[in-house]
Structure 1
Amino acid sequence: MNDPHYILLPANPLFIAFSLIIAFMLNLLPWGQWVGVPDFVALVLVFWNIHQPRKVGISVAFMMGLLMDVNAATLLGENALAYTLLSYFAIMIHRRVLWFPSGTQALHILPLLLLTQAVQLVIQLIVTGKFPHWYFFSESFISAILWPVVTWALLAPQRRAINRDDNRPI
């Protein structure tokens, strides 16, 4: 038996904004500087770029990148460029990715997250000349592992029925 395919309700713009704010707040926590802690803003951005590309686009990614630049006190535009590229490529492949189950979607998301980190690494190397550490890219792999959980959590409000009826399967 296959998993049921839900007819999703439209995404509430307030919920999208709330999820981006929560992701930003998670990145503000001091554990965000630890090795291997995923970039929650990038993860939520790529989710909404794939599921709602008309509501969350490149401009939202650029603004979130600027906020992360100010927060991390990095070169202004480093995260903005990385998130903009992430958003662009996520929107490019969003139709293909939605055909797969969430575990396989994570394999499609992993190169996008690695590209985001590679852009950040190149900018850091140009500016500082220092390579962070050999496990710098572990953040992308942990984010890809978290993809099914993020998908489940962010799609949960859209799965509920408007008028619940036991005789109707949807």
Structure 2
Amino acid sequence: MNRPHYILLPVNPYFITFSLACAFLLNLMPWGRLIGVPDFVALVLLFWNVHQPRKVGMGIAFFLGLLMDVHDASLLGEHALAYTLLSYGAITIHRRVLWMPRGVQVFAVAPLLVVAQLVPFVTRLLMGAAFPGWGYLVHGFVEAALWPLACTLLLMPQRRPANPDDTRPI
């Protein structure tokens, strides 16, 4: 209860766009679907849905999901559905998650990230694709483990003072 709360600067919309674009480019990397490689778009999208739900909503999640579907040459709409459900869940719990310490936030966002991996998994199975193995669901847990690092990196531009002053503690 007595931990310090930082007064954050307003987020720059260009930084939100830049971070989502970087996450999308990381997902475009040719490492395939190796076990343990996270879905960076889902992680960054979840972060912005929790921290800025009025600026990054389900429409952006749906659009990014369609882009991922086109990139993966998968069934059109499976990532869009997963990201939209992820976004809805994040917006639903965003007020509670922000009051938790970072270590506990991992346990709050892990089910959302696992469900976001489970939706394309089940969709592909229902459409007759081969069983990809249970290792496919590990990605959600890896993304949850990366949550504290993502929070630290994406909040850095907001924590810097607008005009630094040695006499001011904030």
Q: TM-score range, shorter-chain basis?
A: over 0.9
What letter corresponds to residue 20 of structure 2 in structure 1?
A: L
With structure 2 as the length reference, what TM-score do the two structures score?
0.96
TM superposition outliers: structure 1 runs of 4+ over 2 Å: 1-4
Unaligned runs of 5+ in 1: none
The residue aligned with 1:109 is 109
Alignment of 1:1-170 (within 5 A): 3-170=3-170
Q: Distance in 2 between matches of 1:127 and 1:38?
A: 24
Give me the CA root mean square deviation. 1.3
Identity %: 62
Task: Identify the range of structure 1 (2-11 vs 81-90) with the bigger mean alpha-carbon deviation.
Answer: 2-11
With structure 1 as the length reference, what TM-score do the two structures score?
0.96
Alignment size in residue pairs: 170
| Contact 1:26 1:32 survives alignment (8 Å) | no
What is the DSSP-based 3-state SS (H/G/I as helix, E as strand, rest coil) of the residue aligned with 2:134? coil
What do the CA deviations read for 1:34-88 (whole angstroms, capped 9, x no partner)? 1210000000000000000000000000000000000000000000000000000
| Contact 1:36 1:138 survives alignment (8 Å) | yes
Unaligned runs of 5+ in 2: none
TM-aligned CA deviation for residue 93 of structure 1: 0.2
